[in-house]
Chains A and B, each alone.
Chain A
Amino acid sequence: MQVLQRSMAACLCLLLAAPSAAWPQAPAEGVPRPQAGKAKARAPYQSGELHGDERILHALSRFTFGPRPGDVDVVRSIGLDNWFEQQLHPASLDFTDLNARLAEFPAMQWNPENLLFRIPSNAIIRQALDGKVSIPERGALHAVYEDQIYRVAEKRQEKAEKQHADLNKPALGGTPMAAPAGMPAGIEVQAERSESPTPLSKETIGASAAPSESGSMMAATQSPSAMDPIDIDPILALPAQQRVSKLVLMQPAEIDGFFKSLRPIQHVALEAGLSPEQRETVGDLENPERLVVEELTAQRLTRDIYSTAQLQEVMTDFWMNHFNVYLRKNEATPYYLVSYERDVIRPHALGKFEDLLEAVAHSPAMLLYLDNAESIGPDSVAAERAKMAAARRPGNQKKAREGLNENYARELMELHTVGVNGGYTQADVTQVARILTGWTVERPQRGGGFEFDPNRHDPGTVKALGQKFKDHGEMEGRDLLHYLATRPATAQFVSRKLAIRFVSDDPPQSLVDRLAKTYLSSGGDISAMLRTLYHAPEFWLTNVYRAKVKTPIEFVVSAVRASDAQIDNLRPIANELRTLGMPLYGCVPPTGYDWQASTWVSTGALVDRMNFALNLAASRLPGITTTWSPQADSSAGTLLAADAPNAESEESRLEAQIVAGGVSDSTRSAVMQQFQQQSAQATQVASARPFAAQVLRQQQGPSPLERQDQLLAGLLIGSPEFQRR
């Protein structure tokens, strides 16, 4: 029935679409093309080429995270081809606005070692508690370590007490397993973290936006160390620098109680007026690891929303997904991801594929994520030593070194280069894993970098993929990467994936071949491939116009861009991505997220998209404000019935702003019906009691007219047309 119903719908589409097929494909001179806001939505199976503003809209929808108001005009004025070339050469663009926004996150410029030291992970704190890491002697950082050590020690204590209690009475059940404290750093912790596929737990992202979580409220009433609310307010009233100093000088038990007692509104007050560095200090004192994850997420969303180098960000997103690394692989991963995105992926996003592949293969993030850091050659010096050690201490329960790990070797071929049908066997996987032994990470718990360890490297020449790879240390692996990067199968694999991202879910083979040809002739030049794509006739066919369904990140970011929202808090956006099943850095398997429609269109997801649209448009997301009517700031409340905007013009205005290329007649009439209903009510209020509306606005928020606009905008963002690009 499912199938039957869908095919009936398709037939219906064809019938209804027939009249629009008679549209002139190339309008004669003097015949005005429809304006952006009025353009009829076109059915995707129409043949022919795109023209005029539709070309601009199409390019903007594919090479950016969606147009912002005014973008079409800008591109029209500088010319589409010029705009595209600018996007391929982002260095020439103006980053003043973006840089000002990114200045909010100073820690995002640090290297992993510095980041781990200054915003310590739980693993670092446990090491400090056990005397393996020295504690900074003074200043705010000293306080951070003292506070975190206090918390870890307290957890250990609680746990010991609970175990004692458990021994004396039967278990009551229903108690979730507490995070094990005091466990040795490393592997065991990694396992603990990776057990749940739900990435970015609420505690890690949403928490400081919503410290009203029952946990902290409970603590406020139960914990003997919780501060009386009276003590908090005077601290919040202090000037910024004194406020931070006061926190730094508090004793660990005191500051623990302070944060546990803090109500959401007080949390906002605590951060008010702080410099970025001061805000980071406060975040560090409260929960260091969460600070890193929040800033990592926030800087990414800031770039996606505001960067002028949109294509670079779209490609960064593409490669972050192609070379996926899961945030919760282990406790150091969030710290390494900062550098992974900033130093490995983004600088190469428009460069040469082989350089990118090399950089990824040398990155601690990938080496740890896919376990190559632990892989040991079966005949290596390290393996011999381990065997001898084991023989000396039989029955040793310590985890034995497991030897070769094939995880990265397999994904390198299956997911990063030649693809699953790239013509390799299981024996090749094992041999490739041998070649890559010794590629590891120096002191991974402390943020160390890439290291080639000759003791772990498997000696001897390896035959893999029909080639001989001579053993010359690290170069053996680099030869392998070069070999893989220059395979026609890799050209095809990468080309198809690009075509799926930029053109359609089922791209024509002719286009894929065109891209693969450029790949091979240009030495894997990603910009050259994008230029080929831009100039390919297949890219400009009307049947690919709006053929792609937006993934959650594309939907959410494009909605924020289209609404020109004022954003003081990015957490609701990060949370929405989790709700929609696409959290940033949260894809557990190495496959990355899918680009195809079927993954993202589901019943639950559509409800969530519609609700996000309504909430965004009505400024109901905390810290995100949208303004729809030009008069809203000053005089909206004083509008009388006579001044009320004409229904149609209001709809056109919002439609032109939000949905590039316009909506269908049926969508428009569904929206208009709402507008007219609301309008009638608003007019009644306004005419019956002219001042009532103004008073209402001042006391209760938006005026009826603003509420109309919010509903209209919400409906447009939730419309089928806006779900496509």
Chain B
Amino acid sequence: MNTSRRFFLRNGALAVAGTTAIPSFLVRSVLAQTTSAPNRRLVVIFQRGAVDGLNMVVPYREKNYYSMRPTIGIPQNQVVDLDGFFGLHPSLASFKPLFDHGNLAIVHAVGSPDMSRSHFDAQDYMESGTPGLKSTQDGWLNRALQAEDALCRCGHTPFRAVSLGADVPRTLAGTVPAIALSNLNNFSVGGRGPAPSQAASAFEAMYGESRDRIFHPAGEETFEAVKMLRAANPSQYTPSAGADYPNSEFGNNMRQIAQLLKANLGVEAAFTDVSGWDTHQNQGNVNGQLANRLKDFSDSIAAFWRDLGDDAGNVTLVTMSEFGRTARENGTGGTDHGHANAMFVLGGEVKGAKVYGKWPGLDNDQLNEGRDLALTTDFRDVLGEVVTRTLGASNLELVFPGARLAPANFLRLV
């Protein structure tokens, strides 16, 4: 708990005196101080549209890689070498120092075991965490927080689960309340300003006094969040020196996640997504569409990491995408829907500087259905390990029902 948070608590008490008899958020905040929640934060990034993992993390020693990708392959002398076998796309150069410092790990040939090649099915399955099962109502990240609750009656702030975007994504859907924000500056009622608007005060009193069993707590939660955000004033957390976020939607989202984390608002899980990966056509090689997207992607994440500075130690970031793309380039200089992909895991506790996972090879007879990188690691094994180590969720059957995850099978990357 840093100074500004404590300052807020004390002043918050004065601010709400007279409107609600028992400011419940205060009660909770006090509890939050005494029972220590695991002070770890998990950031999840979804690359929607199925990124081309084979051009993101290039197996540049595979001969067949170059024969299958005559125009879009990344030449050996252009990759950013990682370990003598794999190399990063040159647009991911800003990941190289993170990898070398041991903060960044990569898992290759990973993904969902479901064979769907439909974007919306595959995203749905990955976000619900139950491939092949449509009836799942909630998302894996929400269930990870539920699993954490089972262990610890910790106090939580309304910012516990946050999504930067218009609505709560499938990944965060469920019984644990989550906030969706597209712009921190617009999160207030009746206009923004240094003090609550007249309407906001009236609504706060109305919901605070309400006997409605759903809207009373939701209203309190909302005004607690609005006030916390105003008091913490995350806009005062300007990016640290050297944290140069690209001026893009994804860059803005990452910057705002850093602001929320640095403002000590109690964020445990944050989510955002980034799209533009569905490169069926003219995806380019060292330069081009995919290169531009990857540059935005890696520069935003590298800036985020730098921005966090000392706070980075207890943050873990994981990236995912619904499936990979075909090993062979298609007739229009792009790639079609494939199967296994690559994931990045970045964090203070991550055992980085390594490409994890069993490499299935790229010979024609090693491909999935004769066309895609085969899958050797279930994405739930990666996420299962990450949630165990960050959120402390040990009931993996709750988080990934039916997956029968066994810690013995984890890659031991966190």
Contact B211 A13 (CB under 8 A): yes
In the assembled complex, the CB of A134 is this many whole angstroms from the nearest CB of chain B, namely 25
Cα separation A415 to B170 with both chains bound (whole Å): 18
Cα separation A411 to B222 with both chains bound (whole Å): 37
| Interface residue? A701 (CB, 8 A) | no
- CB-nearest residue of chain A to B124: A589
- Interfacial residues of chain A within 570-606, with CB under 8 A of chain B in the complex: 578-581, 588-591, 594, 597-599, 601-606
Contact B213 A9 (CB under 8 A): yes
Contact A715 B199 (CB under 8 A): yes
Residues of B within 8 A of A581 (CB): 166-168, 180
Nearest first, the 6 A-B pairs at minimum CB distance are: A173-B295, A195-B49, A581-B167, A666-B209, A720-B215, A670-B206
Residues of A within 8 A of B280 (CB): 180, 183, 188, 191-192
Contact B284 A607 (CB under 8 A): no
| Interface residue? A75 (CB, 8 A) | no
Given A5-B24, A5-B28, A604-B179, check contact A173 B222 (CB 8 Å): no
Give the contact stretch, choosing among A162-170, A237-245, A335-343.
Answer: A162-170
One digit per residue, 1 when the CB lies within 8 angstroms of any chain A CB and 0 when it does not, for chain B 262-281 equals 00000000000001111111
- Interfacial residues of chain A within 413-468, with CB under 8 A of chain B in the complex: 414-415, 420
| Interface residue? B332 (CB, 8 A) | yes
Known: A12-B211, A174-B246. 11 other contacts (CB 8 A): A43-B211, A171-B292, A174-B296, A177-B289, A420-B135, A589-B134, A591-B134, A602-B178, A606-B218, A607-B222, A720-B216
Contact A604 B206 (CB under 8 A): no
Contact B219 A598 (CB under 8 A): no
Residues of B within 8 A of A180 (CB): 280-282
Contact B180 A602 (CB under 8 A): yes
- CB-nearest residue of chain B to A369: B120
- Interfacial residues of chain B within 172-220, with CB under 8 A of chain A in the complex: 173, 175-181, 187-190, 198-200, 202-203, 205-207, 209-219
Cα separation A669 to B181 with both chains bound (whole Å): 31
Interface centre among B178, B180, B199 (most CB of A within 10 A): B199
Q: Which of B120, B211, B295 contacts A589 (CB 8 A)?
A: B120
Give the contact stretch, choosing among A138-146, A491-499, A671-679.
Answer: A671-679
Q: Which B residues form the contact surface with A (CB < 8 A)? A: 24, 27-28, 31, 48-50, 91, 118-121, 123-124, 134-135, 137, 149, 153-156, 158, 165-170, 173, 175-181, 187-190, 198-200, 202-203, 205-207, 209-219, 221-222, 225-226, 246-249, 251, 275-282, 284, 287-293, 295-296, 299, 328, 330-332, 334, 336-337
In the assembled complex, the CB of B228 is this many whole angstroms from the nearest CB of chain A, namely 11
Pull 16 A–B residue pairs with CB atoms less than 8 Å apart, ordered by A.
A1-B31, A1-B154, A2-B176, A173-B246, A177-B293, A188-B332, A326-B120, A579-B166, A589-B120, A603-B158, A603-B221, A604-B179, A606-B218, A711-B202, A720-B210, A723-B215
| Interface residue? A96 (CB, 8 A) | no
Contact A671 B202 (CB under 8 A): yes
In the assembled complex, the CB of A456 is this many whole angstroms from the nearest CB of chain B, namely 19
- CB-nearest residue of chain B to A718: B203
Residues of A within 8 A of B173 (CB): 599
Cα separation A379 to B375 with both chains bound (whole Å): 29
Interface centre among B166, B169, B200 (most CB of A within 10 A): B166
Given A174-B247, A195-B275, A197-B123, check contact A578 B166 (CB 8 Å): yes
Q: Which A residues form the contact surface with B (CB < 8 A)? A: 1-2, 4-6, 9-10, 12-13, 16-17, 41, 43-44, 159, 163, 166-167, 169-178, 180, 182-184, 188, 191-192, 194-198, 326, 371, 397-399, 407, 410-411, 414-415, 420, 549, 578-581, 588-591, 594, 597-599, 601-607, 610-611, 614, 664, 666-667, 669-671, 673-674, 677-678, 711, 714-715, 718-721, 723-724
- CB-nearest residue of chain B to A192: B278
In the assembled complex, the CB of A424 is this many whole angstroms from the nearest CB of chain B, namely 13
Residues of B within 8 A of A5 (CB): 24, 27-28, 217
Residues of A within 8 A of B277 (CB): 195
Cα separation A631 to B187 with both chains bound (whole Å): 35
Contact A603 B177 (CB under 8 A): yes
Contact A163 B288 (CB under 8 A): yes
Cα separation A598 to B118 with both chains bound (whole Å): 28
Residues of A within 8 A of B175 (CB): 598
Cα separation A667 to B216 with both chains bound (whole Å): 11
Contact B206 A715 (CB under 8 A): yes
In the assembled complex, the CB of A412 is this many whole angstroms from the nearest CB of chain B, namely 12
Residues of A within 8 A of B49 (CB): 195-196
Residues of B within 8 A of A13 (CB): 211, 213, 216
Interface centre among A178, A192, A579, A607 (most CB of B within 10 A): A607
Contact A597 B214 (CB under 8 A): yes
In the assembled complex, the CB of A395 is this many whole angstroms from the nearest CB of chain B, namely 10
Interface centre among B165, B207, B247 (most CB of A within 10 A): B207
Q: Which of A169, A591, A610 contacts B203 (CB 8 A)?
A: A610
Contact B330 A606 (CB under 8 A): no
Contact B28 A188 (CB under 8 A): no
Contact B214 A604 (CB under 8 A): no
Cα separation A43 to B168 with both chains bound (whole Å): 29
